A and B are shown apart, each in its own frame.
Chain A
């Protein structure tokens, strides 16, 4: 048995793939931003002096990090309508992804806050800076530098993870694969091509983030 690999039939679908890439980028950016916003709240709760707040933050982080995204997605998309909350596929996908990212974002941000040594704050204050100035000029830059690599790789991870939301029909890159597959009947070629598209995205973004890191933190380490 021999199989004729025909990747050329897919050439016609390049516009669909480009569109899928753009949608995946949209999903990733929105998820990253919403997830970081949630993560910031949870991270602040997790270092607050109030025990109940810390407990809530910990439950949230552990619950989200110890269950699969796919199941979280199904709970939001298939489960919530039974208590009267109906969501479109894209909305459900973005909500599930953001809530999921919130748990990872919280851990990253908490690590960032805690990485800056207290003595740095004291040094800033003893130089006569206000609390706000100390945060802006002393703490923030160092914290961002510490968490930058984690945030960058988290972004790439989100990009790859968005493929999962195609399973509820949310329209991103992997969803286009199902579309092209249904038109061409070339499943193997289609999924190979889509998977390679993700690889190009991943490598591109890793290079981009590394470049930004070098420009911002390496080339001029002091401000």
Chain B
């Protein structure tokens, strides 16, 4: 599909920084690289920002990384890479702004650039294809999933997690950001680099897919109960 050259995973930890690929909300006129002195921040301030504004989000970041990679080792690496990048490019972070969204954006970009290829991604979908389809008018008339609230009320966390993990990663991501992390659509648009309209339609589609998976669970449980009687 795309003729974009793929980057080599193995270089990721020590390779040269490529700010454009992960710098959140960077000013395009600004040349930021690892050896540019941080503008405005002394070393002491950098550590303070890191500890006071970045570290408090580490559990959320780890949870996000784990839900994306579905693997503990990958989640460890991803979180570590993200925090090291965040520190290296701390000069592009404006103190007092939304640190959590900034960090999530770095993590999500690192995941796409470095981890997606090797992650245990079950369903390979053509991303472009999915986006085009679900942004079209067809999505507007999409049928609602035939599932009742009572039948999901007995589902447990593991079953929800399995259903969530079975979604293509782009759909999984919007659900995690919205429902688990509570980001607003506007924050999600910034984290994902997509317009708010796309956030809305992707979320809508993701939830319909999730409900289809949950319906399969719920009906298999119903089937079991019938058989036991």
Q: Are both chains from one complex? A: no
Chain B interfacial positions (CB closer than 8 Å to A): none
Q: Which A residues are within 8 Å of any B CB, using their own CB? A: none
